[in-house]
Amino acid sequence: MKKRNQFVKNIVLVILCILLAGTMVFFYIWDRSDEKKLLASYENVGVSQQVDMSSFGDGTGEEATSEEAAATEDTAAAPEATVTYAQAVSVWGDQFFDSDSTSSSYVSLLADKLANDGHSQTVEDHTVSGTNTLSVMDLAGIESDTLDAYITNHQSGNKNLSNAESAYTEHSDEEKARSDQEDIPVIFMGYYGGWNNDTNELVQQIQFVINTFGTYKDQAIVVGMAPQSGNVTQDAIDEALGNVWGDHYISVADVCSSDFFTFDGQEELADAIYQKLVSFGYLG
């Protein structure tokens, strides 16, 4: 009986040992499985981190993603545009008052408007009373060969030319000396002739004077009025000059409701020129 009991104990002990060994094997396998999973997770994290880091370049600060570059461009302050204004307005062409009455001229009244409204620009007066377009061109520094060519052309079609179409005033070098080429040109010439009643020629001569200016010549304001001779209508003047200079052209007939040769008429023209300069943003 004792031997039987001992035998049973041994069997039970063997079973317990087997169970214990199996349990140990189970935990060992389970632990290895978790270890592999953990290792795999570390490897995935490493790959993810590597991708994320590559987006920052090689660490030298010399590379960046397109998104970063765009963000930098968006956040960078755009430089402010610098607006430069001409220091003065230079008026060329016809003068309609003698030296004792120039304070009533459109040129002087324009200067008053600029000053009274606080603008920095002054007005330079290069107008001449009773002179033709060829004389204005000579004063502006246009070569005499060009002026003589106009006269030759006038004479070829008409032997009985007026003095305005066949001659011009020659100015001294001192009179031609200029310091206004960086001003805004305002050109009002043609009333006293010099262009042989040919509006195309008048356009050419005005452009010659404008071309003597520099930076601001494209800001030129051109004024037109029918000539003293009455040989060309105001409509013809407006069509020819308006087609070339567009919004930069002022017709005296359109802006002067008063007699142009009165103070009120001169003031109306001065105001029209002033409003053009303001509307184009040319005044500082």
- CB proximity list for 12: less than 8 A, separation 6 or greater: none
- The answer to whether the beta carbons of residues 172 and 205 sit under 8 Å apart is no
The closest of 274, 148, 282 to 215, measured between CA atoms, is: 282
Is a pLDDT exceeding 60 seen at residue 231? yes
Identity (one letter) of the amino acid at 202? L
- CB proximity list for 63: less than 8 A, separation 6 or greater: 56, 57
Is a pLDDT exceeding 90 seen at residue 184? yes
Q: pLDDT (tens digit, 9 = 90+) per residue, 121-141?
A: 999 999 998 999 999 999 999
pLDDT class for 38, splitting at 50, 70, 90? very low
DSSP 105: S
The closest of 210, 245, 226 to 126, measured between CA atoms, is: 210
Q: How far is CA 8 from CA 18, 19, 122, 218, in A?
A: 15, 16, 128, 121
pLDDT class for 4, splitting at 50, 70, 90? low
Q: What is the pLDDT at residue 99? A: 54
Is a pLDDT exceeding 50 seen at residue 54? no
Beta bridge mates, 92: 126, 187
Is a pLDDT exceeding 60 seen at residue 43? no
Q: How far is CA 14 from CA 1, 22, 51, 70, 132, in A?
A: 20, 12, 56, 75, 136
φ, ψ (nearest 5 deg) of residue 89: -110, 130
In whole numbers, what is the pLDDT of the chain averaged over residues?
A: 82
Enumerate the domain spans of the chain.
Answer: 1-32, 88-279
- CB proximity list for 265: less than 8 A, separation 6 or greater: 256, 258, 259
- The answer to whether the beta carbons of residues 156 and 165 sit under 8 Å apart is no
Q: What is the pLDDT at residue 32? A: 56
Considering the chain, what percentage of its residues have pLDDT values greater than 70? 69
What is the C-alpha separation between 180 and 201, in angstroms, rounded? 25
Q: pLDDT (tens digit, 9 = 90+) per residue, 194-208?
A: 999 999 999 999 999
pLDDT class for 266, splitting at 50, 70, 90? very high
φ, ψ (nearest 5 deg) of residue 60: -85, -15
Question: What is the CATH T-level fold of the domain 88-279, as seen in this structure?
Answer: Rossmann fold (3.40.50)
Better-predicted residue by pLDDT, 59 or 239: 239
What is the C-alpha separation between 176 and 212, in angstroms, rounded? 12
pLDDT class for 104, splitting at 50, 70, 90? confident
What is the C-alpha separation between 136 and 170, in angstroms, rounded? 10
SS3 category, 159: coil
Considering the chain, what percentage of its residues have pLDDT values greater than 90? 64
* Mean pLDDT of the region 136-164: 92
* Mean pLDDT of the region 250-257: 98
